[in-house]
Structure 1
Amino acid sequence: MEHPISRQERADIRWALSDAFVDNEVNYAAIAKQVKDFDKKDIEDILFSEVAPVCHTNLESILPSIWSCFNREELESDIEKMLRLRQQSFFRRQLDKLLIEWLRYRYKYIWIEIAKHYQNKK
């Protein structure tokens, strides 16, 4: 049985996955290498339910504000704030479920590219 993902490990995973949402060439192999020690399904869930809802707007804008990397502390703070709001509001949870499904569809290619390089076969 795998150990649960610690708070620090989760922050590291989020940071690695955020690289897929910057406006430059994405090194999917490097992202996969950083998260390879964790369950593939857990990584996919973190990508779409935690990182993408906060970072996707960077890829949607004509002139993205983030070119090379997000600010790590701000990223973590924004994700934690979103998760608290989701937990506190039934309405927010329902809206986020729809958003997450759209993000899974819209950014499926990101997961496909990461999964191609994923060494953990779970």
Structure 2
Amino acid sequence: MTDEELAYVYWALSDAFVDTEVDYEAIARQTENYDPEEIRRILYHEIAPVCHTNLETVIPMIWSAFNLENLKADIESMLSMRKNSYFRRQKDKLLIRWLEFRYSYIWKEIKKHYKS
């Protein structure tokens, strides 16, 4: 996956964390040309750790779409911190497990719209 394709996948998956009705079918259409397991990994290891707080606030800041440049910068920063800190990696492992549990419905909804 090129950097441009990855950014496109980031932006598509981030739609699951906005404060409007989520179009899971559209997310599936935008990501269906890639390995589903890689999309799932990106969802829970890269997107959810950055975007999940938007769904957990009383008044979410992001209603319609995340800013792609800010999203990419936030993910790159998180990945860099994860790479450079043993403690951050351990903390993120726990966070990712919780996110996979808490937001398991997101992957189920996306996956059911993939063509078999």
Task: Please report the TM-score for the alignment, with normalisation by the length of structure 2.
Answer: 0.98
Task: Please name the residue that 1:33 is paired with.
Answer: 29
**Percent same amino acid among aligned pairs?**
59
Q: Deviations over 1:70-104 (max 9, x none)?
A: 11100000000000000000000000000000000
- Residue 79 (1) aligns with residue 61 (2): no
Task: Please name the residue that 1:16 is paired with.
Answer: 12
Task: Please name the residue that 1:106 is paired with.
Answer: 102
Task: Please name the residue that 1:56 is paired with.
Answer: 52
- Residue 91 (1) aligns with residue 87 (2): yes
The one-letter amino acid of 1:111's match is W
RMSD over equivalenced CA pairs, Å: 0.6
C-alpha distance in 2 between matches for 1:72 and 1:14: 8
The one-letter amino acid of 2:20's match is N
Q: Deviations over 1:21-55 (max 9, x none)?
A: 00000000000000000000000000000000000
C-alpha distance in 2 between matches for 1:6 and 1:88: 23
- Structure 2: gaps of 5 or more residues: none
C-alpha distance in 2 between matches for 1:9 and 1:101: 26
Alpha-carbon offset, residue 118 of structure 1: 1.2
Secondary structure of the structure 2 residue equivalent to 1:50: helix
C-alpha distance in 2 between matches for 1:115 and 1:28: 9
Alpha-carbon offset, residue 8 of structure 1: 1.2
